């Protein structure tokens, strides 16, 4: 029965963390691009494609981060000598902060890469003018960089994972 509760907690953590991070990311993106939510309508497919790519990128990276948090919960449960809740909260918060920071840096650097590659194009203005070509280019680069760097991000986060102590016999 203990495995059932652990699985249930993992599902709840995954859903809650995903919703919170998607919400925060969406609000930050709206402010960065100086958009109004009314601009997302049938007349501007380019913005929808671009934001969908960003949301996919975040979701893909979160799909690697959340299992690291769940693994930490299992290891902390086995090896914790203090308050289990505090230890889990401490690791989860740190992991999410580092992950969110890394995801933000990844997406900003992807966008800056595109701006460097296409100096003659004003990307934000083109997205607002429904330029599908620019939107597809931005999303393709973002998703490619996300796929390439996802394993490195997961490895970075797993270095923070509490490791069990081993006894060496000589």
Give the other-Cβ count within 10 Å of 63's Cβ: 13
Q: How far apart are CA 102 and CA 100, in angstroms?
A: 5
pTM: 0.74
Give the other-Cβ count within 10 Å of 67's Cβ: 15
Nearest CA to 17 out of 53, 52, 69, 85 is that of 69
Task: Please report the pLDDT score of residue 38 as a whole number.
Answer: 62
Task: Please report the pLDDT score of residue 16 as a whole number.
Answer: 80
Task: Please report the pLDDT score of residue 134 as a whole number.
Answer: 87
Are 107 and 142 in contact by the 8 Å Cβ rule? The answer is yes
Q: How far apart are CA 111 and CA 34, in angstroms?
A: 16
C-alpha dihedral, 54 to 55 to 57 to 63, nearest 10° = 170
What is the pLDDT tens value at each position of the chain, 170 positions in all? 666 776 677 678 778 877 887 888 778 877 877 777 666 666 788 888 888 898 898 888 888 877 777 777 777 677 666 666 677 767 777 777 777 788 878 878 877 887 788 788 888 888 888 889 988 988 888 898 889 988 888 887 777 666 555 555 65
């Amino acid at each position: 029965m203990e495995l059932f509760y652990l699985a249930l907690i993992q599902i709840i953590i995954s859903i809650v963390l995903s919703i919170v991070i998607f919400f925060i990311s969406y609000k930050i993106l709206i402010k960065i691009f100086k958009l109004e939510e009314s601009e997302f309508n049938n007349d501007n497919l380019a913005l929808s494609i671009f934001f969908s790519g960003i949301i996919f990128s975040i979701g893909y990276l979160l799909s690697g981060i959340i299992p690291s948090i769940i693994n930490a919960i299992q290891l902390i449960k086995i090896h914790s000598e203090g308050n289990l809740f505090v230890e889990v909260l401490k690791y989860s918060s740190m992991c999410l902060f580092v992950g969110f920071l890394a995801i933000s840096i990844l997406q900003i650097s992807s966008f800056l890469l595109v701006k460097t590659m296409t100096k003659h194009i004003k990307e934000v203005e083109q997205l607002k003018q429904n330029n599908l070509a620019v939107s597809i280019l931005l999303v393709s680069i973002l998703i490619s960089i996300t796929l390439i760097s996802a394993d490195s991000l997961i490895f970075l986060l797993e270095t923070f994972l509490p490791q069990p102590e081993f006894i060496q016999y000589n």
